[in-house]
Amino acid sequence: MCHFTQRSSTLSFAKICSIFWRFHHTSTSHLCSCSKTVSDEKYQDPFQLGRKDLKNLYEDIKKELLVSTAELKEMCDYYFDGKGKAFRPMIVVLMARACNIHHNNSREVQASQRSVAIIAEMIHTASLVHDDVIDDANSRRGKMTVNQIWGERKAVLAGDFILSAASVALARIGNTTIISVLTQVIEDLVRGEFLQLGSKENENERFAHYLEKTFKKTASLIANSCKAVSILGCPDPKVHEIAYQYGKNVGIAFQLIDDVLDFTSCANHLGKPTAADLKLGLATGPVLFACRQFPEMNAMIMRRFSKPGDVERARKYVLQSDGVQQTTYLAQRYCHEATREISKLRPSPEREALIQLTEMVLVRDK
């Protein structure tokens, strides 16, 4: 997915460069390809390194969801079946260890830091339940959605309950700074959903709108969870900013690749329908880039692909354009920035694993 000519990518990317970097960064650094982001130290498998700290993760989440009603319990446990990627908790525990090592060479994850990983997964899952209701989705992770099985009203309540249980776990940490950091995530999720419901006519504003929505709906959770564990493990505000910037950049790259896979992956492999965003009327990165080559897509974007044949035509235009490659290239830029940030920490296996994780984001296929 990463193998395309830098020349063609740079030409089109230059048009959005000023928006992209003004919106997200104060400075730019030289691009390196995704094949060069691994450090010279020994390869570290992030999932192997984080396995110890994530043992019994889903069992511990279920303990937070103790309820007397059998049906509500079944609904809440539905996505906590241990079959998810646990991508967010993985980043959080690796960041916790990397920051602890940087501060005082401690290689243990504190109980409060592990709690942040649990809370992050709970907030994420609650948002999925609510998203599926809003989108009227019928499949998630290769199985039927909560709203399809139990109905929309009960699904909303289940999502609310998971969120409330996460809030109780957050309060139990007993740190007002951490509470403030992680409640920002919930605000961002709501604001991001409202951004997704709107659209911009101006092409440049449209792309900035898309990136802001992507940050709020996806990256804020990772960024602020990383920041939270850094605060718990290290008193240095510079380290907090490094953790936040790493999480933000990896989170945005993750969603950009997700938007690419909506066009390039088959439904069975992805675990959810493809071209789903187009069917929901959403113009993601590949569409916005394709629109530069096929201006006739502008009208389709503004009417949110609502006319018969719009979805099929838009998908055809995207696949005929370099929209997929451009979006992947943009994800590379974010991953490069994440690597640049985390490299400021003291060398450790966990730091190297976080660098490796940026590559895994780029080459994942589901």
> How far, in Å, CA of 208 to CA of 191, rounded?
15
Examine residue 25 and state whether it is found in any structural domain, yes or no: no
The CATH number of the domain holding residue 353 is 1.10.600.10
Examine residue 200 and state whether it is found in any structural domain, yes or no: yes
Examine residue 248 and state whether it is found in any structural domain, yes or no: yes
Examine residue 24 and state whether it is found in any structural domain, yes or no: no
Specify the long-range contacts of residues 301-307, CB closer than 8 Å, at least 24 apart: 301/199, 301/206, 302/199, 302/201, 304/199, 305/278, 305/279, 305/281, 306/281
Give backbone dihedrals phi and psi of 139, rounded to 5 degrees, phi first: -145, 145
Least confident of 19-23, 27-31, 69-73, 242-246: 27-31
- pTM equals 0.87
Q: Is the pLDDT of residue 272 over 80?
A: no
Examine residue 71 and state whether it is found in any structural domain, yes or no: yes
Closest CA to 88 of 59, 128, 40, 134: 128
- Determine the length of the chain: 366
pLDDT of residue 200: 79
How does pLDDT run across 171-220, given as a tens digit for each residue? Answer: 999 999 999 999 999 999 999 999 998 877 777 799 999 999 999 999 99
Residue 241 neighbours by CB distance under 10 Å? 14
Closest CA to 317 of 300, 332, 302: 300
Q: Is the pLDDT of residue 265 over 90?
A: no
Please indicate whether residue 269 or residue 303 has the higher confidence score (pLDDT).
Answer: 303
How does pLDDT run across 171-184, given as a tens digit for each residue? Answer: 999 999 999 999 99
Examine residue 36 and state whether it is found in any structural domain, yes or no: no
Q: Is the pLDDT of residue 19 over 60?
A: no
Q: What percent of the chain has pLDDT over 90?
A: 71
Examine residue 151 and state whether it is found in any structural domain, yes or no: yes
> How far, in Å, CA of 114 to CA of 31, rounded?
34
Total domains in the chain come to 1
The strand ranges marked E within 145-228 are: none
> How far, in Å, CA of 288 to CA of 327, rounded?
9
Examine residue 17 and state whether it is found in any structural domain, yes or no: no
Residues 20, 23, 29, 35, CA torsion sign: negative
Q: Is the pLDDT of residue 26 over 70?
A: no
How does pLDDT run across 89-132, given as a tens digit for each residue? Answer: 999 999 999 999 999 999 899 999 999 999 999 999 999 999 99
Q: Write out the residue range of the structural domain in which residue 202 sits.
A: 45-363
pLDDT of residue 141: 79
pLDDT of residue 292: 93
